[in-house]
Amino acid sequence: MISGVSRLLNCRILRPGPKSTLKTVGGNSFTDSGWAALPQGEYGWAVKARYTNAVLSSAAISNPLSKSGGIPAAPQNLQITVVGEDVYLNWDQVQSDTGGNPLEINSYEVHVLSTPDEEPSVFSIIDITPDTFYIIPEVTPYVDQIFFCVVARAEERAGLAPERRDWRGIRTRFEARQK
């Protein structure tokens, strides 16, 4: 014989941290409104169900979710120097996203464009570098004019959607001097 039937009253949603209980909800959905304020890192949630007979379930733990920063800001102060036939690119290190929040940048895409209005794409990338400089050897004998764009990249983790990018990057024009 069954002594009683328990019905779900509510659920307690928890996220590890200084204030572990986020909210008690009566339904089956929840939006973590504090997510935007959290720093970068890995997070998980725990859900405990409370039933009518005062039984509290064991915690069901979510899969971890990585929070990366926003869209990386565009590199600034792109400088071009010609040494012999080589072109040297230098730019300032990016340390924040477009909102000014700290962001770890792990590499930069170097793009070569045909016109100043051309949008950088995966087809215009000539290389990806962790440095804030790039050397393109033996360019000047072959081109009269070329445009460069550098785009910052934040860390990408396997299994997550591709990162968002500010494709505006930083652009500058190189014009070979007439001989």
- Identify residue 115 by its one-letter amino acid code: T
Per-residue pLDDT reduced to its tens digit, 143-161: 778 888 999 988 654 333 3
3-state secondary structure of 35: helix
Residues in the chain: 179
Q: Give residue 22's pLDDT.
A: 63
- Find the domain containing 118 and state its range: 79-175
The values of phi and psi at residue 35, to 5°, are -55, -45
Across-strand partners of 105?
A: 154
Q: What is the count of structural domains for the chain?
A: 2
Q: Give residue 179's pLDDT.
A: 32
- Distance of alpha carbon 76 from alpha carbon 179, whole angstroms: 31
Could you tell me the two tokens for 110?
A: 């170097």
Q: Give residue 158's pLDDT.
A: 36
- What CATH number did the domain enclosing 134 receive? 2.60.40.10
Q: Is residue 142 part of a domain?
A: yes
Is there a single domain that holds both residue 62 and residue 83? Answer: no
Residue ranges, the chain, pLDDT below 50: 1-3, 18-19, 157-169, 175-179
For the entire predicted model, the pTM comes to: 0.56
Q: Give residue 69's pLDDT.
A: 66
Which of these, 84, 75, 100, lies nearest to 150 by C-alpha position? 75
73 in Cβ contact with 94 (< 8 Å):
yes
Q: Is residue 3 part of a domain?
A: no
Bridging pattern class, strands 86-90 and 79-83: antiparallel
